[in-house]
Amino acid sequence: MIRVPDRWRGRAGGGVVLAGAGFAVATWLDMEPQPLPYVVWSVVVLTTAYLLIDIADAPPAEWRQGPPPTDRVDEASSDLRVLSSHVQSDQPSDAVAHRLVALARARDPDLGETIRRELADTRRLAPADIDRILTRIEDVP
């Protein structure tokens, strides 16, 4: 058997009493209420009233912040900035070389040292060289 909570039993009982009293008053005032439409109307009105009561009792919503942004998002824009300034500059710095070495060390420390030695005195890297180094880094399992 289905167990109905006491709260709902009280609401249903109160609704039946209110609807019955309203029907009796409408009959006493010679409004000639029809039973079936009156029951449907009572159910709709009482359901709406109980929903409004439930909403009023609900605690206010609290918004939570999403997960913190990952550092990689900032790195990507920072890496892009370093790469564009490297390509556009007349005398580029060795920032691209440092970034490539750091990226390689994160994947494999030995590869990082190899790339550091290769790029030790290099100031300007050609796009093909950058692509070749990135491909080597990506190939590391």
Tens digit of each residue's pLDDT (9 = 90 or more) over 104-129: 888 888 988 998 888 887 777 888 88
> Whole domain around residue 89: which residue ranges?
71-139
Is the same domain home to 36 and 83?
no
Give residues with Cβ within 8 angstroms of 135, minimum separation 6. none
**Total Cβ atoms within 10 A of residue 8:** 10
Is the same domain home to 43 and 21?
yes
Residue 87 pLDDT exceeds 80: no
More confident residue, 102 or 61: 102
Using only C-alpha atoms, what is the Rg of the chain?
A: 37
Is the same domain home to 76 and 135?
yes
Structural domains in the chain (count): 2
Is the same domain home to 11 and 42?
yes
